[in-house]
Amino acid sequence: MALVLNEEQRLLRDTAREFLTKNAPVAELRRLRDNCDEIGYSPSLWQEMVALGWAGIPVQEAFGGLDFGYLGLGVVLEETGRTLTPSPLFATLVLGASAIQLGGNESQKERLLPAIVAGELTLALALEEHNHHNPTGFSTSLRKENGQYLLNGSKCFVLDGHSADQCLVVARNDSGCTQSADAVCLVLVPRETDGVQCDRTLMADSRNAANLTFQNVVIEDGWIIGEGSEGQTLLEAVLDRGRVALCAEMLGLAREAFERTVDYLKERTQFGVKIGSFQALQHRAAIMLTELELCQSVVLQALTAVDEDSDQLPAMASLAKAKMNELVQTVTNEAVQMHGGIGVTDELDIGLFLKRARVCMQVLGDSGYHKDRYARLCGY
Q: Which domains does the chain have, with CATH numbers?
A: 7-119 (1.10.540.10), 125-230 (2.40.110.10), 232-377 (1.20.140.10)
51/34 Cα distance (integer angstroms): 28
The two most distant CA atoms of the chain are separated, in Å, by 80
Cβ atoms of residues 61 and 234 within 8 Å? no
Task: Supply the pLDDT for residue 222.
Answer: 83
Task: Identify the H or E element spanning 203.
Answer: none
Whether the pLDDT of residue 176 is over 60: the answer is: no
Predicted TM-score (pTM) above 0.85: yes
**Where residue 270 falls among pLDDT bands split at 50, 70, 90?**
confident
**Where residue 177 falls among pLDDT bands split at 50, 70, 90?**
very low
Mean pLDDT of 297-326: 96
Whether the pLDDT of residue 217 is over 60: the answer is: yes
**Where residue 112 falls among pLDDT bands split at 50, 70, 90?**
very high
**Where residue 274 falls among pLDDT bands split at 50, 70, 90?**
confident
Q: In the chain, which ranges are E strands?
A: 123-126, 141-145, 148-159, 166-172, 184-190, 196-202, 208-219, 224-225, 269-270, 273-274
Whether the pLDDT of residue 341 is over 90: the answer is: no
**Where residue 146 falls among pLDDT bands split at 50, 70, 90?**
confident
Whether the pLDDT of residue 115 is over 50: the answer is: yes
